[in-house]
Chain A
């Protein structure tokens, strides 16, 4: 339990991932579902960045001309997360465009309603 308190960033990212996952499963509204997906994204980024952090070291930008691996934090997770953030915004934009099309077609954002309507229209 004390270990969880020391690793509080990782523990919080797991909780956030769980909240996002439950949003994805339980919410009926499509926009809320996609907000949940975004929360899951940021939880994974938080986990990665917390793995790269080292106490009492500075950001990976040359300061005071010191070239020494023991002076900076790990730059690898930062690079990975940087690419991830931009991909997540493009995924969000694409899914919101799909939401707009679905609303145009069915006139609602409720997932169950959309499934019911699509089944009815197939039956026709």
Chain B
């Protein structure tokens, strides 16, 4: 092993696998450890947190400072309920005056969120779908993420459930859940005519399904909503929504050259795409709410 002087020679030797010392190794061996500067080091969070009283005091202080700043801002805000507030500007006037003509929906809020800002709502349906997928990943009960103690606990719970008659709950659910689900469907279908719409109606339908499942067990709901149907409904509704609202991309922006029949405002079959979109959103929300419940109790849909 002859002496190597230049950097290139050393590098060649190192690549060939010889035992050599690179500049970097020398530097690492020789360098001085940087000393932590005492006067610059901020107090660590753990140290403060170990002193409970100091931590509480600091938290209350920070929160109070925030509240004081926001209170000063609120005391300078324009008066509550005044028609000439800066928030009530030409955007609102446009929505209220041209809304029925352009969207055909009597409920201005439904016309706004499902026609003017429909992509907003599409993103939100995606958020719901993503949330249920994340919960599915975290809580799905399969052979790999279950311990023996838990299995025993689940078996005990199921045995207790089988003995428990739940008479009051079952009688209540038998008469209440059809009414609740029917009301939810009414709210979804009348979303463009009266208060409500996809989100609220879907949550009500989901609540009815939860009541039914709590009283009669998961098997009774699984007859019509198992994992397969759940996936089909969610994905199908998201794709339908996308197809309905992306027509303005395919036909040129701003609905040029393609008008959907609006119908007579006030009739159930009116308002263009708002009714199908409401149904899509309602189905997604109902599936999501029931999916949360099923995953939280049984660990499977």
Contact = CB atoms under 8 A, between A and B. Distances in A.
Contact of B67 (A14, A86, A94): A14
Given A76-B95, A97-B139, A4 B49 contact: no
Contacts of A9: 80
Given A26-B56, A74-B92, A61 B77 contact: no
B80 A62 contact: no
Given A51-B85, A72-B96, A86-B199, A94 B134 contact: yes
B107 A60 contact: yes
B108 A86 contact: no
B93 A69 contact: yes
B139 A100 contact: yes
Contacts of A86: 124, 127-128, 199, 203, 285
A53 B81 CA distance: 5
Contacts of B138: 94, 97-98, 100-101
A14 B74 CA distance: 8
Chief secondary structure at chain B's binding surface: helix
A82 B135 contact: no
A94 B131 contact: yes
Given A25-B63, A61-B194, A87-B127, A75 B80 contact: no
A54 B132 CA distance: 38
A91 interface: yes
Contact of A87 (B97, B113, B124): B124
Contact of B77 (A7, A25, A60): A7
Contacts of A91: 131
A15 B63 CA distance: 10
Interface band, chain A:
35 or more
Contacts of B285: 86
A50 interface: yes
Contacts of B81: 53-55
Interface string B86-104: 0110011101110010000
Nearest to B88: A74
B288 interface: yes
A61 B96 CA distance: 9
B127 A54 contact: no
B210 interface: no
Given A7-B74, A94-B134, A54 B292 contact: no
Interface string A1-29: 10110111111001101100110011000
Interface in A50-97: 50-55, 57, 59-62, 67-70, 72, 74-79, 82-83, 85-87, 89-91, 93-94, 96-97
A62 B83 CA distance: 19
Nearest to A15: B67
Contacts of A55: 81-83
A112 interface: yes
A98 B100 CA distance: 44
Nearest to B101: A67
Nearest to A21: B63
B249 interface: no
Contacts of A89: 203
B70 A14 contact: yes
Given A59-B195, A69-B92, A75-B95, A112 B49 contact: yes
B288 A60 contact: no
Find the residue from A9, A11, A75 having the highest chain B CB count within 10 A.
Answer: A75
Given A22-B63, A75-B92, A90 B80 contact: no
Contacts of B64: 18
19 contacts: A3-B79, A6-B79, A11-B74, A14-B74, A18-B67, A22-B60, A54-B82, A67-B100, A72-B96, A76-B92, A79-B109, A82-B113, A83-B124, A90-B127, A94-B134, A97-B295, A101-B139, A104-B150, A112-B49
